[in-house]
Structure formats: structure tokens, C-alpha cells
Amino acid sequence: MAEFVWRFAADEPVFAGHFPGRPIVPGVLLLDRAIRFAEQCHGAAGLRWQIAQAKFFRPVGPGYTLHYHLVATPAAGWAFSILDDDGVEVASGRLQPVP
């Protein structure tokens, strides 16, 4: 198992225009970070990845600190879970490298 921490500053450019009045992190960025962490665990940057499964449970806003937990799967992929500082899961899924 591997754990990574990522904090979204309140002034991140991604918040500009992504839901005025209630800024949230786009799910694609949560997935992108999971893929980057999986690459670090896998030891191979630049792989192509397939998102085998992804579920989003709660929105992530400015100032959130996220805790990514990755666990290797039998098929050389990674299962991930993303939790906020309160230990509440905000997203989860599975990643597979594309051959």
C-alpha cells in the first residue's frame, strides 16, 4: 500500500470558472493525480492508463487536503481511495496500465 497527500490551495487556477459561487475540483483532476501516484508506485512514468472504475462521493473544494491510498491489484493495476482530512472518502476506483 502507498499513501500520498495532495492539498488544493484556495487560489488554484482550476477553481476559476469551475462552478462560480461554489468552486469544486473537477473529477478529472482527482483521477489525473491518482494516475500520477500510480505511476510513481509502478516505477514507470508515461504509461497509458485505463480507468477501470471511478466513483465520486463528495465534492472537493478549495483548501482541501486529500489523502490518496493506493493498493496494488493482481492484474498490475492499482485500486485507489481518496479521503479528506476527516477520513471521509471522496472518491475511489481502479486503474489498469494499457499494454
Instruction: With cut-offs at 50, 70 and 90, classify the pLDDT of residue 45.
Output: low
Q: Do 54 and 31 touch, CB atoms closer than 8 A?
A: yes
How high is the mean pLDDT of the chain? 88
CATH architecture of 2-97: Roll (3.10)
Q: Is the pLDDT of residue 44 over 70?
A: no
Domain boundaries, the chain: 2-97
How large is the average pLDDT for residues 53-70? Answer: 93
Out of 18, 42, 67, 69, pick the active-site residue: 18
Q: Do 92 and 55 touch, CB atoms closer than 8 A?
A: yes
Q: With the C-alpha atoms ordered 34, 40, 46, 47, is the resulting torsion angle positive or negative?
A: negative
In the chain, % of residues over pLDDT 70: 97
Decide if 18 is catalytic: yes
Considering just the CA atoms, what is the radius of gyration of the chain in Å?
Answer: 14
Helices and strands counted in the chain (H then E): 1, 5
